[in-house]
Chain A
Amino acid sequence: MKRQALGFGMAVAMSSLLILSAVESEASAAPAADATPKTADGRPSLSGLWGGGMPLAFEARKSEDGSIKFGFKGGKPPAALVNPGPKSAPQYKPEFQAKLKGMQAGNLNRQDAVFSCGDPGLPRVGAPQQIVQEANQVVFLYAGFSGMVFRVIPTDGRPPHDTDPSNYGVGAGRWDGDTLVVETGNLSTDTWMGGDGYFHSDKMRVIERFRRVGETLEYNVTVEDPEVLAQPWVKPKLVLTKASMPLEEPYPCDAEKAASAADDGPRQLLQ
């Protein structure tokens, strides 16, 4: 019983926020194509709030004496949280596996910039929480635990600006039929591609595919890094749903507090 209990907790620990904000879908009940909203120039409209905003629903249940119990709305965690399914992991070249294992054997909290309020970078930041689509560009907005992030992605083929590598790099978008493909490079090696120490080289390119189907948005991510990966990392497809809560400035992140908690203990490997 105890093992089951811990197993359950571990299974939940292996989930990611994306699983909370979107449901992996094998069989999607796709609405008719004509139900997909279009822009004035005939493209599928990706604009809007996506991912549920605050997908986990909570409630405060008040008892007669005024005491409060805080828990999941309805008393049960979402099914996708309990059974998140297998987790995808990048496959590193043999010569980099020892480095990864060494990092994972240490205190990842101390090595993880996000733990101290740093940028998650791509693709770790996840799917955009809001998209603003214009004729010549799309703007991706995020408000997370590490702060606010925006990405401006040209879709008209204009040349990228000249810049040093950065946490969100330089992206370019193009339409492949009804799918927006965003390819981003020039990414700083200060970030990880995933939370378990998944380092990358400056050769990493992140390819995101967005496809609007009715009131859902399919989000696929492939990470290419021929320097360190044995093969491209194809992440599980996410199906985002329309969110109702507007994006707001997140509460500040306390780097000092986070840093002091980093030595509370090495986190378990979430694989």
Chain B
Amino acid sequence: MKEQMMTLKTMSLAVVMAVFGAISTAEAHHSAAYIADFTKPIQVKGVLTTVKFINPHCEFRVDSKGADGKTVAWSFEGPPPVFFRQAGLKKDDFAKHIGEDVTVTTFANKMNAPTGFFKKIVYKDGKSFEMDFTPDR
């Protein structure tokens, strides 16, 4: 059951990220599958520093303190801003949380770079924003 659920999550994120990754204009942009390991969800805790509504993808940056005490600037990639906008979401819906301690769920970067696809963010007040693309929902 656990494996099934993981597969479903893997599949749903693969779908949406492939969708987002496939879009530039009329043809493919870049592949999500080569960048992220969708079998390895990870959480990054830190301070939300930047929200960019910009093409080709939205970007969220989080300063996270590593085990060695050094701060690492993480960058998380979301969908194109027009997708959020179409659902009635504005930049400020995210940007109003800048400066807060947040927890971002992403997937491990295959190159061990501090970047990843934006899956879920939990804000300081416990409320969350999640990309939900379960196909058979």
Contacts and interface: CB of A to CB of B under 8 A. Distances in A.
Given A125-B25, A268-B34, A9 B11 contact: yes
Contact of A65 (B55, B82, B127): B127
B24 A77 contact: no
Interface in B50-86: 52-56, 59, 77, 80-84, 86
Interface string B109-125: 11101010000000000
B132 A71 contact: yes
B28 A146 contact: no
Given A5-B14, A77-B15, A267 B24 contact: no
B19 interface: yes
Interface of A: 1-2, 4-6, 8-10, 12-18, 20, 54, 56-61, 65-73, 75-77, 81-82, 108-109, 114-115, 117, 120, 123-127, 142, 144-146, 192, 194-196, 245, 250-254, 257-258, 261-268, 270
Contacts of A195: 24, 27-29
Is chain B's interface secondary structure helix, strand, loop, or mixed overall?
A: mixed
Rank and list the top 10 A-B pairs by shortest CB-CB distance, nearest first: A126-B26, A195-B27, A9-B14, A267-B31, A5-B11, A195-B28, A13-B18, A265-B34, A69-B132, A144-B25
A242 B27 CA distance: 21
Contact of B19 (A4, A77, A145): A77
A133 B107 CA distance: 48
B119 to A, nearest CB: 11
Most chain B beta-carbon contacts within 10 A, residue among A75, A82, A263? A75
Contacts of B4: 1
B24 A114 contact: yes
A29 to B, nearest CB: 25
A192 B15 CA distance: 26
A270 B29 CA distance: 10
Contacts of B21: 13, 267
Interface residues of B, number: 61
A68 B27 contact: no
A69 B109 CA distance: 24
A258 B87 contact: no
B30 interface: yes
A8 B15 contact: yes
B87 A12 contact: no
Contacts of A120: 24-27
A73 B87 CA distance: 9
A258 B27 CA distance: 16
B10 interface: yes
Given A58-B86, A196-B28, A254 B35 contact: no
B122 to A, nearest CB: 9
A115 B129 contact: no
A70 B82 contact: no
